[in-house]
Amino acid sequence: MSSFLRNLSPSHQVGLLFVMVFGLLIAASIAALVMSLRDDGDKEERTEDIRELSSLLNTSWIMCTVFWVGWALGDTVATLLFALVAFFALREFITLSPTRHGDHRSLLLAFFVVLPAQFWLVITERFDLVTVFIPVYVFLAIPVVSALANDPQRFLERNAKLQWGIMVCVYGMSHVPALLLLDFPDYSGKNAFLVFFLVFVVQTGMLVQHLAARRWPKPPTAPQVSQTFHWSSWLIGLAVGGFVGGLMSGLTPFKPAQAVAMALIACVAGSLGHLVMKALKRDRGITNWGNEGKSVTGASGLLDRVDALCFAAPVFFHSVRWYFDL
């Protein structure tokens, strides 16, 4: 079995992976459908669970399709797709941060200059610039444009919010396609596995953490921010994420121990980033960016789904590049 897999060409291996993932998704969707058809009284909590599950499944379908289209059409198209996701995520973020007239030019800069420039740097594989362009150069450029707008009211707060939005949505998201373009020795054509590895371990860690918090409810560590976050369920999620990462080491250029370490790094960054985003949402007085289509803003909640990835990707990318000296 394993020698059969090894003898397949890289693109066949990746194709097989997609067949498996879509097969799993189909099975899960059918299971969810059967569950929703089964009638066992009208328990409020149960229908809530099923709705949450089906929304999670919908996002998984969309994300997997995006990955698949990206892989099938090549790295450049994949990068452009991620740029589009970053655009929509930043749009949601900015919608819920109050801006003033004086921010208009800075916002234009963020959406129409910084975002395309960052993803162009990714496509052209200027990785040194990819990692410093936003934290160093944009960090200065945005407040300069704001200052020229001649509006000092809440200046620091407004600029900090904008810089934060760019860091999370553009900088974080751009590191996912950057993984596709990293040049590992003896690993060409298989970089899609690296993205899959990252997404899968982070999502597994988050899911296990969520389930563990449900199964063994404990008083939350930071109840003002998150009703479910607790160090013990967090550790369980982390352990499972790391373990799954170790199991998947065959797919990656890492040895098993390295894979576990990389998975742990990604899980820590992702789950804690998710917690930080929760605090941000609480500050804005909302429970999630989308609010199930009920909010006045009409946001669809894309940012809820990708925030963990946005925090995990840059850290993961940097660790991989630094450790393997690429």
Partner 1 sequence: MLARLMGLFLLGLIRALTGAQARWQGCPPKAEQRIYFANHQSHADLILIWAALPSELRSITRPIAAKDYWTKTPFKQWITTAVFNAIYVDRAKTGDQDPLEPLIDALQNGDSVILFPEGTRGNQEEPQAFKSGLYNLATRFPQVVLVPAWINNVQRVMPKGEVVPVPILCSVTFGAPIALGEGEDRSGFLLRARHAVMSLRDT
10 Å CB burial of residue 221 (0-12, 13-18, 19+) is middle
Could you tell me how many residues of this chain bind partner 1 (CB under 8 A)? 18
Burial class from Cβ neighbours inside 10 Å (0-12, 13-18, 19+) for residue 317 reads buried
Tell me how far apart the alpha carbons of residues 236 and 77 are, in angstroms, rounded to a whole number: 37
Q: Residue 298, by phi and psi: left (phi above 0), alpha (psi -120 to 50) or beta?
A: left
Q: Is 6 in the site for partner 1 (CB under 8 A)?
A: no
Taking the C-alpha atoms of residue 286 and residue 142, their distance in angstroms, rounded to an integer, is: 27
94 binds partner 1 (CB under 8 A): yes
Binding to partner 1 (CB under 8 A) within 280-319 occurs at 296-300
Binder among 18, 87, 164, 187 for partner 1 (CB under 8 A): 87
Q: Which is nearer to partner 1, 135 or 298 (CB)?
A: 298
CA proximity to 202, closest of 250, 251, 152, 240: 240
Smallest gap from Cβ 104 to partner 1, in A, equals 5
Cβ burial 283-303 (10 Å sphere, 16+ → b, else e): eeeeeebbbeeebeeebbbbb
Taking the complex as a whole, the smallest distance from the CB of residue 251 to partner 1 amounts, in Å, to 36
How far is the CA of 85 from the CAs of 16, 82, 236, in angstroms? 25, 5, 30
* Residue span binding partner 1 (CB under 8 A) among the ranges 20-28, 41-49, 90-98, 255-263: 90-98
CB of 108 to partner 1, least distance (A): 6
Minimum gap (Å) between residue 66 Cβ and partner 1: 17
**Closer CB to partner 1, residue 101 or residue 215?**
101
The minimum distance between CB 100 and partner 1, in angstroms, equals 9
Burial class (CB in 10 A: 0-12, 13-18, 19+), 112: exposed
**Closer CB to partner 1, 61 or 87, in the complex:** 87
Site for partner 1 in 95-134 (CB under 8 A): 95, 99, 101, 104, 107-108, 111-112
In whole angstroms, how close is the CB of 62 to partner 1 at the nearest point? Answer: 17
CA distance between the termini of the chain: 32
55 versus 99: smaller Cβ distance to partner 1: 99
Residues in touch with partner 1 (CB under 8 A): 87, 90-92, 94-95, 99, 101, 104, 107-108, 111-112, 296-300
